[in-house]
Amino acid sequence: MKRRNFVKSTLLGSMTAALGTDIVFGTLMPDGYTPLALLQNTDPFQLFDKDPQMVVLNNKPWNIEAQAHLLDDNVTPNTRMFIRNNGIIPERIDASKWTLTIDGESAKEPKTYTLVDLKTRFPQYTYQLTLECGGNGRSEFDPPAKGNQWTVGAVSCANWTGVRLRDVLEDVGFNKDAVYIGYHATDIHLSRDPDKEPISRGVPMAKALQDETLLAFRMNEKDIPMAHGYPLRLVAGGWPASASGKWVNRVSIRNKVHDGAKMTGTAYRVPCESVAPGEKIKEEDFCIIESMPVKSLITYPKSGATFPLGKKLQIRGHAWAGELEVKKMEYSIDFGATWKKCAVERPANRLAWQHFTATIDFPKKGYYEVWARATDSENTGQPMVLPGWNPKGYLNNACHRIAVKVT
Ligand SMILES: Nc1nc2c(c(=O)[nH]1)N[C@H]1C(S)=C(S)[C@@H](COP(=O)(O)O)O[C@H]1N2
Ligand SMILES: [Mo]
């Protein structure tokens, strides 16, 4: 065999292996040709089935956010759900071989489940759960905070179906000294060092044992999309979404606060007491973020909308308050001088965002801003402007605003 043909046939062999099937007319492919199926698809919108108006903040790792008007759906579809990755999305997942191991100092004994075990041995529940990245809104902090410069779009509220983490933890059994759970997942550290985890966070037992804390295998009635944790993820609504581990294959029941990657130091922590912008804070003065603060988003109209005078404007959006409920929703068209009530619905279930609407009559032609402010069931309202500066730029729950022109 001539050398050229030899090279061609080995190449063909490896292409066949990669495709998992014969390339029927493979020997007829022009030299140097790569079959379409093997071309690396690098368009993130196609790759992740996202709306082309989503905004890519980073591609190493992939971090993609929505815009306010894209979040208009009551239940966030995959196409408009932000992606937040700390590492590389796992490659080649075989769900039929996936297992979840429960272990840790406080577990009675380690136990391993297949996905079929989980789906057949425990009752299944569906909840609509708000997941907001702790760093959502970071882009507004001054002095600026390092990290993804999220604007408003790192929040979602999809339907998640799975089994209760509690049911599985109770099936394993745990000792009285259990304080925390920590998740482990199969995504890959950016350095590709197999001994390093990109992220391994968790929640206190009380949160782990809530009805709504799920080990989920479906999102919006379908398998979870790859980027969002296929085939199994933890979902702990109302807390920083970093607690909701994607691609989870192990949950440890800890006898101390979980100390996995991004659980220690200053990651996902804020100063326990408020500090001056730019102030240096000692590590021991940081506290772990738990329930997320009250917040809201105007999802219609899109900022920049123009309306004729005399036409009433119907605004709408969502409001959420971590572990709490939103009890009041207001809007202002005079930069916060006066506020009027919006109608706000009850949540689909605990930890789901709530929809609001209001009909606005503008007094005359000109430029306006519509500001929205939610107040939670403990009577804490959103700050009108940027709340407590913190070094890592977490928990910006300032009022959302849109620009409107009346012509
Ligand atoms: N395994 C794993 N789980 C993870 C992450 C990750 O990088 N790896 N990122 C966390 C963070 S910081 C956020 S905000 C949410 C984002 O979830 P989403 O990408 O499904 O929107 O996933 C969390 N779970
Ligand atoms: Mo996050």
Model-level pTM? 0.91
Of the pLDDT bands very low, low, confident and very high (cuts 50, 70, 90), residue 37 is confident
374 C-alpha to ligand 1 centroid (Å): 26
Tell me which residues have their CB within 5 A of the ion that is ligand 2.
Answer: 84, 133, 242
pLDDT (0 to 100) of residue 31: 81
pLDDT (0 to 100) of residue 8: 65
C-beta of 198 in contact with ligand 1 (< 6 A)? yes
The region of weakest confidence among 20-24, 110-114, 252-256, 281-285 is 20-24
361 C-alpha to ligand 2 centroid (Å): 38
pLDDT (0 to 100) of residue 7: 58
186 C-alpha to ligand 1 centroid (Å): 12
Percent of the chain predicted with pLDDT > 90: 86
Percent of the chain predicted with pLDDT > 70: 97
pLDDT (0 to 100) of residue 17: 74
Looking at per-residue pLDDT, the higher value among 197 and 35 belongs to 197
Nearest Cα residue to atom 14 of ligand 1? 133
Of the pLDDT bands very low, low, confident and very high (cuts 50, 70, 90), residue 10 is low
Q: Which atom of ligand 1 is nearest to the CA of 82?
A: 21
Ligand at minimal distance from the CA of 63 is 1
Of the pLDDT bands very low, low, confident and very high (cuts 50, 70, 90), residue 387 is confident
* Phi, psi for 211 (deg, rounded to 5): -50, -40
Q: Which atom of ligand 1 is nearest to the CA of 248?
A: 1
Ordered domains of the chain (ranges, CATH): 1-39 (no CATH), 95-288 (3.90.420.10), 295-406 (2.60.40.650)
**At residue 4, does pLDDT exceed 70?**
no
The region of weakest confidence among 10-14, 137-141, 384-388 is 10-14
C-beta of 87 in contact with ligand 1 (< 6 A)? yes
Nearest Cα residue to atom 16 of ligand 1? 84
Ligand at minimal distance from the CA of 90 is 1
Cβ atoms within 10 A of the Cβ of 405, count? 13
C-beta of 218 in contact with ligand 1 (< 6 A)? no
367 C-alpha to ligand 2 centroid (Å): 35
Q: What is the pLDDT of residues 126-148, one digit of tens each?
A: 999 999 999 999 999 989 999 99
Of the pLDDT bands very low, low, confident and very high (cuts 50, 70, 90), residue 2 is low
Q: What is the pLDDT of residues 257-275, one digit of tens each?
A: 999 999 999 999 999 998 9
Ligand at minimal distance from the CA of 183 is 1
pLDDT (0 to 100) of residue 18: 72
109 C-alpha to ligand 2 centroid (Å): 31
84 C-alpha to ligand 2 centroid (Å): 6
Q: What is the pLDDT of residues 56-110, one digit of tens each?
A: 999 999 999 999 999 999 999 999 999 999 999 998 899 999 999 999 999 999 9
C-beta of 64 in contact with ligand 1 (< 6 A)? no
